[in-house]
Amino acid sequence: MKRIGAGVFGLGLAALVAFVPWPEPPRPATPVPQLLLAEGLGFQARLVAPQPRLTALPAQVTGRVAADSSGEGYRHEWPGFHASARFAGTGITLRFDDAVNRWRVILDGEAVELSRPGRQDLRIEGLAPGPHVIRAEKISESWEPALFGGFFLEGSAAALPPPEPAPRLIEFIGDSDTLGFANTAERRDCSEEEVYAATDTSRSFGPQVAAALDADYRMVARSGIGLLRNYGGADPERTMERLYPLALPGDAEATALPQRQADIVVIALGSNVFGSSLAPGERWSDPSQLRRDFAPALADFAAARMQENPGAQIVLLAFGEYGPELVEAHRSASDLLTAGGIANRLVVLGDPKRNACLWHPSAADHAMIARTLIQALTAPDSGGSG
């Protein structure tokens, strides 16, 4: 498009050609390589067929998961799953059965990335002898369950105790804005593959807050989801009220593995409720009715999370750009919690620029949200809404 100022139509052709087009924002690189290796790595990495006779390595695992029927590994679907381990040796193997996700594997501070590895092992070799720390983190959004089989050793490699868990755990409950939908993109018009390439949950505001507060994070989030209703009124039987108890949204029968209680719970579930028009057939006729129902529903949802995580700090996160109905509903929910003896903080965000894919928060927006939450969480406790 041309850069056209006031009075441009009174200029001649010679003046018009002096205007230069705005540079097009870069598109996320697609297709995503199945295995992406950085230059100068201190090891070699390759995808291979599943290897027999390996020894499983104990790991520190964070995220909603279910046991696999084989008895090995972790079935996962909610975003932000990550696992860490320690070992001594010159090589290690990671096992996947995953045709839907992107992964980052960090070994002694150096990273490789995988995309849709399928049923393969990632074999890492050429390490210097001695102790090593490895972390595997899912950075994409899943729309069906997949398997991380775990870490495995062979030969003379020796297992070391997994890393100690962080002193605190923060659970972030939300939607696409929470999980980092296309957060590394620099443009709003994106294809489905470009969204996949640009999504990096590990760089969303939640992990940034956790890192700043010496905490780990657990993510329970899904694009388009809301508390009472989803975006546009879609899938009314699959709101967060219905899906939150499930280990795997795509397998209601899966049994969740035990998980650590959260010390802080951040709930951001109003954007899709108030950010789209009511559809024919929904039970609300106008936003004011929705606001009246949302406030007690949010308070009840937050109270239930407190029961599951006794002593946790509750934070209600409101994306204020979705309008006064959303903000007032959150204020009412905060007041209801306070009246019920549940201390909480209400954090109302300013206006993120939302210049990532499909008007989602960009990396700069996520950094702003993280700063706002860190400030709220480290401020003196007021004993009520903030």
Q: What is the DSSP letter of 192?
A: H
Q: 133, 156, 149, 153: which is closest to 86 by C-alpha?
A: 133
> What are the Cα distances from residue 179, in Å, to 12, 36, 138, 306, 313?
50, 22, 11, 22, 20
Q: 65, 234, 230, 215: which is closest to 142 by C-alpha?
A: 65
Q: Known catalytic residue: 69?
A: no
List the structure tokens of 216.
């780990």
> What are the Cα distances from residue 268, in Å, to 152, 193, 225, 250?
37, 26, 10, 22
> What are the Cα distances from residue 344, in Å, to 134, 308, 334?
36, 16, 7
H/E stretch holding 105: strand 102-107
Answer whether 96's CB lies under 8 Å from 47's CB.
no
d(CA 59, CA 152): 10
Give the end-to-end CA distance of the chain in Å, rounded to a whole number: 44
Query: Residue 120: left if φ>0, alpha if ψ -120 to 50, beta else—which one?
Result: beta
d(CA 51, CA 105): 19
Q: Give the three-state DSSP class for 273.
A: helix
Catalytic residue among 84, 115, 140, 176: 176
Which residues are marked as active site? 176
